Structure 1
């Protein structure tokens, strides 16, 4: 039996703004609101369903992309003046990593969720 992730709920203070932020960085579109959610769908059909919430802990989300997509995404991160890091602990500011023969970068979304973009899967 194959098991695939279908969706995950992303708590946020402003679901529309947060969904549009991530979609804009990744070069995707925030979908129309569906029930209490604003979805952002990735290429493999998984949706991040943003939902308004007043209390939550920041969560980590990682996206794997091609090398050209990384260049585009990283360009948008820099264009927006976002702080970015080479590590999940945010100690190596202004750097990217080169783990597993690829490239990776971390940045926070408006709600403090730790977003990661990589070009090579971790071993």
Structure 2
């Protein structure tokens, strides 16, 4: 059997708001409840299991490989909601989309400051 990522835990000050934020922007089904988690199911069998954190949340990075149509839809939802986005992970190129490796990519932050990214071509592609 090959080794695959099955899930990762996302800490959030409000698990329900964070799960809704992710599913809404990414265009995914509503997150199911599993114990203390809201489970955000991604298309490749991996899930983001959002759990409430009692204190400050340490920012993490989550990157999503999407198709061109999904990229356009997610970008439109980010713009429609007035969210700031950047072309780079250091948030220096505000309002821009990168063209790395012949694809498109952008970064934005969730309510707890997690650095979210969508790309249409894997790095090194």
TM-score, normalising length: structure 2: 0.96
Partner of 1:37: 37
Equivalent residues of 2:57, 2:112 under 8 A apart = no
Partner of 1:60: 61
CA distance in 2, matches of 1:6, 1:60: 17
Structure 2 gaps of 5+ residues are none
CA distance in 2, matches of 1:111, 1:48: 15
Equivalent residues of 1:30, 1:38 under 8 A apart = no
SS in 2 for 1:33: strand
Please tell me the root mean square deviation across aligned C-alpha atoms, in Å. 0.8
Equivalent residues of 1:18, 1:50 under 8 A apart = yes
1:110 aligns with 2:97: no
CA distance in 2, matches of 1:82, 1:12: 18
Equivalent residues of 2:13, 2:57 under 8 A apart = no
C-alpha displacement at 1:29, in angstroms? 2.0
Equivalent residues of 1:98, 1:104 under 8 A apart = yes
Equivalent residues of 1:103, 1:120 under 8 A apart = yes
Partner of 2:17: 17
Structure 1 gaps of 5+ residues are none
